[in-house]
Structure 1
Amino acid sequence: MIRTFVAVDIPAAFHAKISAIQSKFIGPGLRPVDPSIVHITMKFLGDVDEAQLPGIITALDRMDCPSFDSRISGVGAFPGMKNPRVVWLGADGDYSCLHGQLESLLSETGFKKEPRKFIPHATLARITYLSNPRKKELISAIDSLRDLDVGLMRVNTVKLKKSTLTPQGPIYETLHEVDLP
């Protein structure tokens, strides 16, 4: 079994900006994501048998969505600011075709459609535990970054990735890449 997901990578040109953003709030109780692997998860597939990979790849190769621009901006938290568990970087753009086709094509190979509304974002940090004073500091830092503009990127590739979890953080390997016209 291999842990897999479909993603859009954040360009390397944004990694230094992401690191600078993370420096505003990283501290006790937060596990930052290495800026070099920050991405927008389009669909988490979970643990799949290697025998399923050809079917997944065939489904991905059937995608027919045009490439588009995405504005990477704004910092927020899931599930909300009262009890943040994940700090994210926003992604604005027309992800609807991409997300819709992924859900449809992958459901044909046995993956359940995600019932929650898709909100394009890149995870910056996961929160393990925050004292009330630390939570207030984090919320203040996030509020100060709410309107931050990182830049415009072109979404022209979607990748099937393997995730290997280690004590030092996840290691990602691209298993398949699909170019969007």
Structure 2
Amino acid sequence: MSQKQDTLRLFIAVPLPSSVKEALQQWVSSHKHQLSFRKWTHPEDYHITLQFLGDTSQEQYEQLCQALASVKLSPFQLQLNELGSFGSKQAPRILWAGLSGDLPALQQLQQQVVANSGFQAEERSYRPHITIARYYEGKQPFQAAALADGLPPLAWQVDQFTIMRTGLGNIPMYTTLKSFKGS
């Protein structure tokens, strides 16, 4: 077996409740025809990334599980807030749903996860979001006006985080390997 076959492609995330996934999917269903993105996120794959890990050995995964068990998570509230994009204004790479609510608690959770993970933190600053679509390929420049009737201000309680595995080519693409509950 090659080294690549012996590894798992992992990340750590906050999962979303079904009600939030359904609200996002309803928004997508009613706006998809206006927005020419090549790839739409499967509703079961909606999440908030805390830390991308990449290729991870079984030994690293076991150490990670032990280390993350010490992360303290006091439940907190988040809410769908806004829609936006990353990349150029005319042809964005990512369409995302933004968050409001107890963002300092989310930031603190993310920092604890990074500190305990044993993996290097990303160099860019943490910008929590939920990826909805990727790779705009419309013939006309992207029209942010299509985002004007935004998401419903749906709130939920964050009381866990998870280690997720990426299954490239699978639909849905992500599988939960382990969950860590708050107190």
**SS state of the match for residue 32, structure 2?**
coil
Within-5 A mapping of 1:87-98 = 87-92=95-100, 93-94=102-103, 95-98=106-109
Deviation at 1:15, TM superposition (A): 2.5
Choose the corresponding residue for 2:127, options 112, 119, 128.
119
User: Structure 1, residues 44-95: CA drift from partner, whole Å, max 9, x if none?
Assistant: 1111112211111011101013110001121110135344110001122231
Partner of 1:6: 12
Whether 1:157 aligns to 2:164 is: no
Aligned AA for 1:178? F
Give the fraction of aligned pairs with identical amino acids, expressed as a percent: 24
Whether 1:141 aligns to 2:172 is: no
User: Structure 1, residues 119-164: CA drift from partner, whole Å, max 9, x if none?
Assistant: 1111000115332x1x334x2212x145x33410101000001110
Choose the corresponding residue for 1:38, options 35, 46, 49.
46
Partner of 2:114: 103
Q: Structure 2: which 5+ runs fail to align? A: 1-6
Within-5 A mapping of 1:14-29 = 14-23=20-29, 24-26=31-33, 28-29=36-37
User: Structure 1, residues 156-181: CA drift from partner, whole Å, max 9, x if none?
Assistant: 00000111011x54522211111112
Aligned AA for 2:146? A
Aligned AA for 2:57? D
Task: Check conservation: 2:91, 2:135, Cα contact below 8 A.
Answer: no
Q: Structure 1: which 5+ runs fail to align? A: none
1:150 and 1:32 map into 2 onto residues whose CA distance is: 21
| Gap change, CA 1:80 and 1:150, over 3 Å in 2 | farther
Aligned AA for 2:21? H
Aligned AA for 2:114? E
Aligned AA for 1:81? K
| Gap change, CA 1:174 and 1:80, over 3 Å in 2 | same
Task: Check conservation: 1:103, 1:114, Cα contact below 8 A.
Answer: no
Partner of 1:172: 174
Aligned AA for 2:152? D
Aligned residues: 172
Choose the corresponding residue for 1:86, options 69, 94, 99.
94
